[in-house]
Copies of this chain bind each other. A is one copy, B any other.
Amino acid sequence: MILTVTLNTALDITYGVRSLRPHTSHRVTEVTERPGGKGLNVARVLAALGHEVTVTGYTGGATGRAVQDQLMCTPGVVDALVPVTGSTRRTIAVVDTTTGDTTQLNEPGPEITPAEWAAFQEAYEVLLRSASAVALCGSLPPGVPVGAYAGLVRTARAAAVPVLLDTSGEPLRRGVAARPDIVKPNADELAELTGSHDPLQATRDARRRGAHTVVASLGPEGLLAANADGRWRATPPRRVHGNPTGAGDSAVAGLLSGLVEHLSWPDRLARAVALSAATVLAPTAGEFDHAAYETLLDQITVTGDATAA
């Protein structure tokens, strides 16, 4: 199975309101809820592609139970979340039903104790034994050490399980130094890591910092990837319009599924870009449009040269 780690799981709540006006009262006309946090989004897409996925990370309180209830209803996803005393966070997206503009409110997540962090690391080591690949995704909840991902990368490498890291800021900086197989920063995260706004130069720099393969997501312009074997650019056939929420997580699912299926790098990147664009096109945030994915897959342009990196 593929393992995804979401230390800061969430219940993603979307509210439809007519128009958000600060310091007034609003009637919410539509409410939707789904399990969130990057690793859970990645897992959902992997399961939809036919892969067996196990999700781990933390769950706590009534919100954690709501997340787990919904995971139970997601075929192909196995729940291996570790219980904590604190409460799983909620994120609230307030969507203006007239303009589509979104206002985001993100709770900080539960305070994790040292004992809970130790319990997670034990559970993670056991889960790695049956994993063909692992993705470490998203922010860290309060209390988890900033070097957490670096440790989890080292544990995966010691267990010979390919590891992808998708986070930002200091946890990314430290995690990269532990030499993960893949990092997937977006343009902003890559610039923050390297200090360079030139994606080509920043990608080279991120590799020097320790990542074996850097896959930079450049939004509507697709992906830029570089490793010891070469450098590639994968672009969608046209600019797609829609909700970009979850597009990066779908790209991660594309890369991971391609990895365990032993696809070539150009094929992995084509799949990741097609899934990403099909996610932007789907009416529901974070879902992907299966028909659009199949169509787009043949239309992705991948250019590159082996050994050029």
Contacts and interface: CB of A to CB of B under 8 A. Distances in A.
A151 B230 CA distance: 76
A155 interface: no
Nearest to A11: B62
A108 B29 contact: yes
B20 A22 contact: yes
A107 B33 CA distance: 13
A103 interface: yes
Highest count of chain B CB atoms <10 Å: which of A26, A103, A104: A103
Interface in A94-138: 94, 96, 101-108
A158 interface: no
A107 B28 contact: yes
Interface string A81-99: 0000000000010101000
Contacts of A102: 23
Nearest to A30: B108
Interface stretch (A63-71, A197-205, A221-229): A63-71
A25 interface: yes
Nearest to A28: B107
A265 interface: no
A106 B25 contact: yes
Given A22-B22, A62-B63, A92-B92, A105 B69 contact: no
A17 interface: yes
Interface residues of A, number: 30
Contacts of A29: 108
A24 interface: yes
A78 B106 CA distance: 34
Contacts of A92: 92, 105
A101 B63 contact: no
A24 to B, nearest CB: 7
A69 B17 CA distance: 29
A213 B17 CA distance: 38
A28 B63 contact: no
Nearest to A92: B92
A25 B62 contact: no
Nearest to A19: B22
A149 interface: no
A241 interface: no
Closest 10 CB pairs of A and B: A62-B66, A25-B104, A23-B101, A20-B22, A28-B107, A22-B103, A26-B105, A31-B107, A62-B62, A28-B105
28 contacts: A15-B105, A15-B107, A20-B22, A21-B103, A22-B22, A22-B96, A23-B96, A23-B101, A23-B102, A23-B103, A24-B103, A24-B104, A25-B103, A25-B106, A26-B103, A26-B104, A27-B106, A27-B108, A28-B107, A28-B108, A31-B108, A61-B66, A62-B63, A62-B66, A62-B69, A63-B66, A92-B92, A92-B105
